[in-house]
């Protein structure tokens, strides 16, 4: 049987000009020259991808003394929080591992206890919370629907945690699942985005997308009103995540491990855990390419459809139609799948992502071209491990980089259409709202 590659069509995507151009520039050759040019006098500078691995190692070293970590892109250091009273020898080991250690007031156990209080007393639709290691507090966010008695309850609960435990902010948007990411995928009346191609546990080609897309429809196509090419195998939403494994119907489908951002394909080398402060890129079939930073981990989001836990919180914009799409780094690390959020790519807002590592473990899949895993680390070139033209070892964006941010190929569907079966928002049926020429049919708008 002949091998078939998933067909692609250029998507005409209206991308927010300045933001899109900024994201594209970061993928262009020598975009990071000023950052990498010249050696720092500090002996323990790290690349963001390396910082993620060091964070895992240091967390193991510190045990209960570990109180979170974040990447300081300015100094290129991993900052690790250590609860007061930690053993000095353990701190020395953490510093030798490459971390900058600082002592903080709130331990991980105390922060987790505060999060449990929020869960039991303030699990209100339109609220979210995640630990912010930079402030050593829980960042609690309420969208525009949290008013009156709901706001009073939330505010009272946050106050009860103590002045040094949490901060509360109001978002002008509405939390909703959004639909899309990389290439557009379609079902009857719905549109989402393909996140990353993977290999299922039985060896068959498949892809990851948002779970709210997977529970909305079983069969998916790569073009509007086209014949289905893939079938949902597993889906989780709401609950402990927002992810789905979708298997290609043709077992000979060629499913490349990359993200299409227009005139450039960024090779995806491996999955990695997010680090707070890490610079990330999101690709979506509605809004194209956008970039920003990771703000929090293990976030809880109370969508109208239900509570989802274990997410990544970022300031990367997204809109309906972006759900399921790819969150990745410049050097080819798969980080997340677009879940939902508030705001848009004009005014900004909060966006939440399903960690890829968690999704892969849950569905028993592996990342890479037909099972071929990428290089072991961001610093390894592994015979040409170039993430989107970037040599992961020196952060050079490489000569493949395209000038177009958001000129992505929407898996055969024109992402600019936003016509997901009569203009329904991004393909998710997780909400009751409509947006951008069609949005989710659920109370939650997935991006």
Contacts of 122 (CB under 8 A, 6+ apart): 153, 154, 157, 158
Catalytic residue among 323, 326, 339, 342: 323
Predicted confidence band at 187 (pLDDT cuts at 50, 70, 90)?
Answer: confident
Residue 43, in any domain of the structure: no
- Domain edge (last residue) among 146, 170, 194: 170
Residue 328: CB atoms within 10 A of its CB come to 30
Q: What is the model's pLDDT at position 387?
A: 35
For residue 355, which of 314, 390, 392 has the smallest C-alpha distance? 314
Residues 161 and 212 in one domain: no
Element (H, E) at 60: helix 48-62
- For 215-229, how does the pLDDT look when each residue is reduced to its tens digit (9 = 90+)? 988 999 888 888 899
Distance between CA atoms of residues 406 and 399, nearest Å: 18
What pLDDT sits at residue 302? Answer: 95
pLDDT tier for residue 369 given thresholds of 50, 70 and 90: low
Residue 191, domain member (yes or no): yes
The region, left, alpha or beta by phi > 0 then psi within -120 to 50, assigned to residue 437 is left
Domain boundary among 121, 148, 170: 170
Say whether pLDDT at 198 is over 90: yes
Q: Do 243 and 374 lie in a common domain?
A: yes
Please tell me the total count of domains within the chain: 3
Instruction: Over range 74-87, report the average pLDDT.
Output: 84
My answer on whether 136 and 91 are in the same domain is no
What pTM value is reported for the model? 0.71
Sign of the CA dihedral 298, 302, 304, 306?
A: positive
Q: Are residues 152 and 226 in the same domain?
A: no
Same domain, 124 and 225: no
Of 242, 260, 331, 428, the active-site residue reads 242
Domain-ending residue, one of 170, 192, 223: 170
Backbone phi, then psi, for 198, in 5-degree steps?
-140, 175
Compute how many other C-beta atoms are within 10 angstroms of the C-beta atom of residue 14. 15
**255 plus 351 within the same structural domain:** yes
Query: pLDDT tens across 317-334, in order?
Result: 988 888 999 999 998 999
* Residue 283 in domain: yes
| pLDDT classification of 267: cutoffs 50, 70, 90 | very high
Known active-site residue 339: no
Looking at the structure, do residues 63 and 145 belong to the same domain, yes or no?
no
Domain-embedded: residue 18: yes
**Residue at 341 is within a domain:** yes
CB 229 within 8 A of CB 220: yes
Q: What are the residues whose beta carbons fall under 8 Å from the beta carbon of 434, sequence distance 6 or more?
A: 320, 423, 424, 425, 440
| Helical pair 148-160 and 108-121, crossing angle rounded to 10 deg | 150
Read off the CATH number of the domain in which 95 is found: 3.30.300.50
Residue 115 tokens read as 């999060």
- What confidence score (pLDDT) does residue 237 get? 96
Q: Give SS3 for 123.
A: coil
What percentage of the chain exceeds 90 in pLDDT? 45
Which residue out of 50, 212, 331, 417 is catalytically annotated? Answer: 212
State the number of CA atoms in the 13 A half-sphere of 118 facing the CB.
Answer: 35
Q: Average pLDDT of 167-187?
A: 71
Please report which confidence band the pLDDT of residue 404 belongs to, taking 50, 70 and 90 as the band edges: very low
Shared domain check, 183 and 166: no
Q: What's the pLDDT tens digit per position in 227-260? A: 899 999 999 999 999 999 999 999 988 888 999 8
Going by their DSSP bridges, the two strands 333-341 and 326-328 should be labelled as antiparallel
Distance CA 20, CA 43 (A): 35
Q: What is the pLDDT of residue 31?
A: 35
Q: Taking all residues of the chain, what is their mean pLDDT, rounded to a whole number?
A: 75
Looking at residue 92, what is its pLDDT?
Answer: 83
Label residue 214 left, alpha or beta by phi (over 0 means left) and psi (-120 to 50 means alpha): alpha
3-state secondary structure of 68: strand
Residue 265: the pLDDT is 86
Is residue 177 in a domain? yes
Indicate if 74 and 120 belong to the same structural domain: no
Q: How far apart are the first and last CA of the chain?
A: 36
CB distance 137 to 163 below 8 Å = no
CA atoms of 264 and 401, how far apart (whole Å): 5
**pLDDT category, 368, cuts 50, 70, 90?**
low
Q: 323 catalytic, yes or no?
A: yes
Residues 129 and 59 both lie in one domain: no
> Residue 242 catalytic?
yes
pLDDT at 179: 35
- Are both 394 and 422 inside the same structural domain? yes
Domain for residue 42, yes or no?
Answer: no
- Domain ranges, residue 317: 12-31+171-447
Q: In whole angstroms, what is the distance from residue 178 CA to residue 212 CA?
A: 9
Q: Tell me whether residue 2 is in a domain.
A: no
Distance CA 1, CA 444 (A): 42
Residue 119 pLDDT > 60, yes or no? yes
DSSP state, residue 365 = -
Average pLDDT over residues 413-425: 32
Which CATH number is 305's domain given? 2.40.10.120
Q: What is the largest CA-CA distance in the chain?
A: 65
| Digit-coded pLDDT (tens) for 31-61 | 333 333 333 333 378 887 788 888 888 888 8
State how beta strands 99-104 and 77-83 pair: parallel
Spatial contact of 66 and 94, defined as CB atoms under 8 Å apart: no
Pairing mode, if any, of strands 219-220 and 230-236?
antiparallel
298 with 404, same domain? yes
Beta-carbon contacts of 113 under 8 Å, excluding residues fewer than 6 positions away, are none
| Cβ contact 272:286 at 8 Å | no
């Amino acid at each position: 049987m002949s091998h078939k590659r998933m067909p692609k069509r250029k998507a005409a995507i209206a991308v927010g000009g300045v933001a899109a151009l900024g994201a594209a520039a970061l993928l262009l050759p020598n975009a990071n020259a000023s950052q990498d040019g010249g050696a720092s006098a500090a002996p323990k500078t790290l690349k963001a991808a390396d910082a993620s691995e060091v964070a895992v190692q240091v967390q193991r070293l510190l045990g209960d003394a570990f109180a979170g970590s974040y990447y300081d892109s300015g100094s290129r250091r991993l900052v690790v929080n250590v609860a007061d009273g930690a053993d000095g020898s353990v701190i020395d080991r953490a510093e030798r591992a490459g971390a900058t250690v600082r002592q903080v007031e709130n331990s991980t156990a105390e922060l987790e206890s505060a999060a449990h209080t929020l869960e039991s007393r303030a699990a209100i639709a339109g609220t979210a919370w995640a630990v912010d290691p930079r402030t050593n507090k829980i960042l609690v966010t309420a969208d525009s629907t949290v008013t009156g008695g709901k706001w009073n309850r939330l505010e009272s609960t946050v106050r009860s945690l103590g002045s040094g435990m949490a901060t509360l902010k109001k978002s002008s948007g509405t939390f909703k699942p959004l639909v899309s990411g990389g290439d557009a995928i379609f079902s009857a009346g719905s549109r989402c985005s393909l996140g990353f191609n993977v290999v299922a546990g039985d060896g068959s080609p498949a892809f990851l997308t948002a779970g709210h897309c997977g529970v909305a429809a079983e069969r998916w196509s790569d073009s509007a009103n086209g014949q289905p090419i893939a079938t949902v195998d597993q889906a989780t939403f709401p609950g402990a995540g927002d992810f789905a494994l979708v298997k290609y119907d043709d077992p000979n489908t060629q499913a490349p491990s990359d993200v299409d951002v227009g005139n450039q394909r960024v090779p995806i080398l491996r999955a990695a855990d997010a680090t707070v402060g890490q610079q990330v890129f999101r690709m979506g079939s509605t809004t194209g390419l956008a970039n920003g930073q990771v703000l929090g981990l293990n976030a809880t989001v109370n969508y109208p459809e239900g509570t989802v836990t274990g997410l990544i919180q970022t300031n990367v914009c997204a809109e309906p139609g972006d759900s399921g799409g790819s969150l990745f780094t410049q050097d080819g690390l798969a980080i997340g799948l677009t879940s939902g959020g508030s705001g848009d790519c004009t005014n900004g807002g909060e966006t939440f992502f399903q960690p890829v590592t968690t999704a892969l473990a849950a569905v028993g899949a592996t990342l890479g071209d037909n099972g071929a895993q990428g290089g072991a680390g961001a610093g390894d070139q592994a015979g040409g491990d170039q993430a989107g033209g970037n040599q992961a070892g020196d952060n050079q964006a490489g000569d493949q980089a395209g000038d177009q941010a958001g000129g992505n190929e929407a898996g055969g569907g024109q992402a600019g259409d936003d016509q997901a079966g009569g203009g329904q928002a991004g393909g998710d049926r997780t909400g009751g709202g409509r947006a951008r020429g069609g949005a989710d049919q659920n109370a939650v708008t997935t991006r």
